[in-house]
A and B are shown apart, each in its own frame.
Chain A
Amino acid sequence: MRLRSTLTVSFRALRRNVLRSLLTALGIIVGVGAVIAMVSIGNGAKSVVEAQIASLGENVLLVFSGSFNQGGARSGAFGAGTLTVEDAEAIKREVTTIIGVSPEVRTSAQILANGLNWSTQILGEGADYLTIRVWPLSDGVMFSEADVRSVGKVCVIGQTIATQLFPDGSAVGQILRIKAQPFKVVGILAAKGLSVQGQDQDDLVIVPYTSAMRRVSKQTMLRSISVQASSPDTMTLAQNDIVALLRQRHRTAEGSDDFTVRSQVEIAQAATATADTMTGLLGAVAGVSLIVGGIGIMNIMLVSVTERTREIGIRLAVGAHGREIQLQFLTESIVLSVLGGSIGILAGIGASELVSHLKGWPTLVSPTAVVIAFFFSAAVGMIFGYYPARKASLLDPIDALRYE
Chain B
Amino acid sequence: MPAVVKLEDIHRIYDSGEVKVHAVRGVTLELHKGEFMAVMGASGSGKSTLMNTLGCLDRPTSGRYLLDGVDIAGLDRNELADLRNEKLGFVFQGFNLLSRTTALENVELPMLYGRRRISHHDMQERAEHCLAIVGLADRADHFPSQLSGGQQQRVAIARALVNNPQVLLADEPTGNLDSKTAIEVMGVFQKLNDQGITIVMVTHELDIARYCRRNLIMRDGKVVSDVQVTDRLIADTELRRLHEAEAAAKLTA
Contacts and interface: CB of A to CB of B under 8 A. Distances in A.
A321 B113 contact: yes
A315 B109 contact: yes
Given A316-B81, A319-B81, A322-B77, A1 B112 contact: yes
B78 interface: yes
A315 B90 contact: no
A317 interface: yes
A16 interface: yes
A197 interface: no
Range of interface residues on B (Cβ < 8 Å): 20 to 34
Contacts of A5: 112
A51 B159 CA distance: 69
A398 B57 contact: yes
27 contacts: A1-B112, A5-B112, A12-B100, A12-B101, A16-B100, A310-B96, A311-B98, A314-B97, A314-B98, A315-B109, A315-B113, A316-B81, A317-B90, A317-B96, A318-B84, A318-B85, A318-B109, A319-B82, A319-B114, A320-B81, A321-B81, A321-B113, A322-B78, A324-B113, A397-B57, A398-B52, A401-B96
B143 to A, nearest CB: 12
Interface string A348-371: 000000000000000000000000
A399 to B, nearest CB: 10
A319 B110 contact: yes
B78 A318 contact: no
B58 interface: yes
Interface string B109-146: 11011100000000000000000000000000000000
Contact of B113 (A12, A318, A398): A318
B96 A319 contact: no
A86 to B, nearest CB: 87
Interface of B: 52, 55, 57-58, 77-78, 81-82, 84-86, 90, 92, 96-98, 100-101, 109-110, 112-114, 159
Most buried by A among B98, B101, B113, B114: B113
A1 B98 contact: no
A214 B82 CA distance: 99
Contacts of A1: 112-113
Q: Which 3 A-B pairs have the closest CB atoms?
A: A319-B85, A318-B110, A319-B113
Given A1-B112, A319-B84, A398 B92 contact: no
Interface in A301-318: 310-311, 313-318
Interface string A188-207: 00000000000000000000
A323 B84 CA distance: 16
Contacts of A317: 55, 57, 84, 90, 96
Contacts of B85: 318-319
Interface in A96-145: none
A1 B159 CA distance: 17
Contacts of B101: 12
A393 to B, nearest CB: 10
Most buried by B among A1, A2, A320: A320
Contacts of B97: 314
A53 to B, nearest CB: 60
Nearest to A320: B113
A2 B117 CA distance: 9
B27 to A, nearest CB: 18
Nearest to B115: A319
Nearest to A13: B100
Contacts of A321: 77-78, 81, 113
A135 B44 CA distance: 96
A313 B58 CA distance: 13
A12 B100 CA distance: 8
Interface string A1-32: 11001000000100010000000000000000
Contacts of B81: 316, 319-321
A200 B114 CA distance: 76
Most buried by A among B77, B81, B97, B159: B81
Contacts of A397: 57
A313 B55 CA distance: 13
A5 B96 CA distance: 20
Contacts of B110: 318-319
Given A5-B112, A398-B52, 13 more contacts: A310-B96, A314-B97, A315-B109, A316-B81, A318-B113, A319-B86, A319-B113, A319-B114, A320-B81, A322-B78, A324-B113, A398-B57, A398-B58
A324 B57 CA distance: 17
Contacts of B86: 319
Nearest to B86: A319
